[in-house]
């Protein structure tokens, strides 16, 4: 009986001990376990590929006994070669083991796996609390599903020109079965020996260079048919092709060497200047700069010059000009958008002035047919467009010099509105003995045609000298009649 009670008590104790342990385990999950997967052997990207891992925790670190703690999936990211994921765990010692083989990626199949510190699983690592993170790294290697025979190797070198930075030069290939792993430029010294060209330097125009390219075998590729005559650099057969390379750089299977000769001297723009001013250099605030007529000339490193097309330069600070702005920036366009070669075009920017308001009140403007008013403001932008009050002339005759019995007179036609004159110096005939003239002209003429002289002897309106003559004649005639009447009466009286 006692043994039964002891058994019951022992079981209860075990249960009670397990409950707080589980609670403490849940509360202590403040550590972070990270798994990073690397993928190699591909010529393309492994983005989106997933790998599943079992996470095991040590029960007894002394006896290296582990139990399955959980699982986690890692997905390769946008870089196409690595993926990372994390999980919160409690403190302790862990190992991770990938579920293999990995899924195929494109035309490649999974080949092998390696862990940091292990073979078929990772080496054990301790994970500590307080937010610490422990990383496990796993590497997966892939190979082509079918063997690829590589028989040609076209290599392209770019950026090889005088004064260019050596670090900016590039070596590439389009052969899918080749993944270049290392290259270096060598320069020939004065003794004729080849030495490594420093990456911090530039290619010198008077120095010979060669390029050395290295690559390793890829899984699933057969290179037995790759011969020197089929290895080219910029379209020219390689000087050397080594298939058993063992020197520096180490761990490389193949070496390609090709002499490049002296780099090409490429002239570059050294400075620019404005050799012809634009048609317009004065603006109002808010207007945009107009380059019409402007000529920008480039000066090259070889001493030559050439006028740039409009696409050869960029105008900065040329839109929405500001009052008081004195210039715009003309920058050489080298295609990079960051050229520091520039010059400046001087301009004058005046305050903004609103639409012009015409002012009138000045003299009449006239031609042979009409008269009109136009804006009197000397700053008017369009004087001829400001015309108003346009009308035809209304002419009358004006006597400049009255005719006498001994001398001819002069007259002209004149507009009654604007005083425009025509038919000037028209001759008025001398007065006859009876005070009349044969050519006095019309007194009022509202047409555009000059008035015609009248050959009759009747008085003309508008000619005061003729009227006076007629009045004088009338006065003399009246006096004579009165005199005759008086004499007649006297004679009758005397009788």
End-to-end CA distance of the chain: 212
Q: What percent of the chain has pLDDT over 90?
A: 56
| Integer CA distances (angstroms), 248 to 213, 216, 253, 254, in order | 12, 14, 11, 11
Distance separating alpha carbons of residues 85 and 38, to the nearest angstrom: 12
- Run of H or E residues at 18: helix 2-27
28-144 and 270-350 in the same fold? yes
Class of domain 270-350: mainly beta
Q: Are 65 and 22 in contact (CB under 8 A)?
A: no
Distance separating alpha carbons of residues 96 and 51, to the nearest angstrom: 12
Q: What is the domain partition of the chain in residue ranges?
A: 28-144, 149-261, 270-350, 395-471
Neighbouring C-beta atoms of residue 474, cutoff 10 Å: 10
Tokens 């390689």 appear where? 238
| Integer CA distances (angstroms), 222 to 10, 147, 219, 246, 435, in order | 69, 7, 9, 20, 137
- Segments of the chain scoring below 50 in pLDDT: 1, 11, 15-27, 440, 442, 447, 452-468, 470, 476, 480-495
Beta-bridged to residue 350, according to DSSP, are: 284
Give the pLDDT of residue 352. 82
pLDDT digits (tens, 9 = 90+) for 60-109: 767 778 999 999 999 999 999 999 999 999 988 999 999 888 899 988 89
Give the pLDDT of residue 230. 95
Fold of 28-144: Immunoglobulin-like (2.60.40)
Select from 259, 169, 256, 161 the least CA-distant residue to 210: 259
Give the pLDDT of residue 455. 38
- Written as six digits, the tokens of 115 are 């862990």
How open is the CA angle 297-303-308, to the nearest 5 degrees? 20
Select from 397, 390, 399 the least CA-distant residue to 369: 390
Neighbouring C-beta atoms of residue 55, cutoff 10 Å: 20
Give the pLDDT of residue 174. 94
Torsions phi, psi for 463 (to 5 deg): -115, 95
- Written as six digits, the tokens of 146 are 């079918």
Give the pLDDT of residue 143. 86
Give the pLDDT of residue 8. 58
- Written as six digits, the tokens of 256 are 């390609």
Give the pLDDT of residue 26. 43
- Written as six digits, the tokens of 159 are 């950026």
Residues ≥6 apart with Cβ < 8 Å to 202: 163, 164, 165, 166
Give the pLDDT of residue 438. 57
Q: Could you tell me the strand order of the sheet in which 295-300 lies?
A: 269-276, 295-300, 305-307
Select from 409, 367, 412, 413 the least CA-distant residue to 390: 367
pTM of the predicted model, to two decimals? 0.40
Q: Are 252 and 265 in contact (CB under 8 A)?
A: no
Extended strands (E) in 192-308: 194-196, 209-215, 221-222, 231-233, 236-237, 240-242, 254-261, 269-276, 282-284, 295-300, 305-307
Neighbouring C-beta atoms of residue 250, cutoff 10 Å: 8
Distance separating alpha carbons of residues 495 and 480, to the nearest angstrom: 23
DSSP H helices, 28-62, are none
């Amino acid at each position: 009986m006692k043994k039964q009670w002891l058994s019951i008590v022992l079981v209860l104790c075990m249960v009670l001990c397990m409950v707080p342990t589980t609670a403490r385990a849940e509360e202590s999950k403040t550590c972070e376990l990270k798994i990073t997967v690397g993928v190699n052997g591909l010529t393309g990207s492994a983005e989106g590929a997933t790998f599943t891992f079992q996470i095991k925790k040590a029960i007894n670190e002394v006896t290296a006994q582990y139990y399955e703690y959980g699982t986690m999936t890692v997905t390769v990211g946008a870089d196409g070669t690595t993926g990372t994921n994390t999980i919160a765990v409690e403190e302790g010692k862990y190992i991770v083991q990938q579920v293999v083989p990995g899924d195929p990626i494109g035309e490649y199949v999974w080949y092998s796996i390696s862990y940091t510190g292990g073979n078929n699983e990772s080496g054990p690592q301790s994970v500590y609390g307080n937010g610490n993170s422990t990383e496990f790294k796993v590497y997966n290697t892939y190979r082509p599903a079918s063997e690829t025979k590589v028989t040609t190797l076209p290599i392209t070198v770019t950026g090889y020109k005088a004064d260019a930075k050596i670090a900016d030069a590039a070596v590439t290939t389009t052969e899918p079965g080749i993944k270049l792993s290392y290259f270096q430029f060598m320069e020939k010294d004065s003794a004729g020996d080849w030495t490594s060209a420093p990456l911090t330097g530039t290619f010198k125009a008077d120095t010979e260079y060669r390029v050395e390219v290295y690559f390793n075998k890829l899984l699933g590729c057969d290179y037995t048919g790759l011969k020197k005559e089929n290895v080219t650099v910029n379209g020219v057969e390689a000087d050397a092709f080594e298939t058993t390379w063992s020197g520096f750089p180490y761990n490389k299977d193949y070496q390609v060497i090709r002499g490049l000769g002296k780099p090409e001297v490429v002239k570059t723009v050294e400075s620019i200047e404005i050799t012809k001013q634009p048609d317009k250099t004065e603006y109002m605030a808010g207007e945009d700069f107009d380059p019409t007529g402007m000529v920008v000339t480039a000066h090259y490193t070889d001493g030559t010059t050439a006028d740039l097309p409009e696409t050869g330069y960029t105008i900065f600070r040329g839109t929405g000009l500001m009052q008081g702005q004195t210039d715009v920036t003309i920058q050489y366009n080298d295609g990079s958008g960051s050229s520091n070669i520039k010059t400046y075009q001087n301009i004058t920017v005046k305050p903004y002035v609103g639409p012009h308001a015409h002012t009138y009140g000045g003299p009449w403007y006239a031609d042979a047919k009409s008269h009109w008013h136009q804006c009197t403001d000397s700053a008017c932008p369009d004087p001829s467009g400001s015309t108003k009050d346009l009308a035809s002339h209304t002419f009358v005759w004006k006597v400049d010099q009255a005719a006498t019995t001994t001398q001819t007179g002069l007259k002209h036609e004149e507009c009654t509105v604007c005083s425009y004159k025509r038919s000037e110096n028209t001759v008025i005939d001398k007065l006859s003995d009876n005070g009349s003239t044969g050519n006095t002209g019309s007194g009022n003429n509202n047409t555009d045609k000059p008035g015609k002289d009248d050959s009759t002897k009747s008085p003309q309106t508008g000619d005061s000298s003729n009227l006076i003559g007629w009045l004088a004649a009338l006065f003399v005639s009246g006096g004579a009649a009165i005199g005759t009447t008086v004499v007649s009466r006297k004679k009758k009286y005397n009788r």
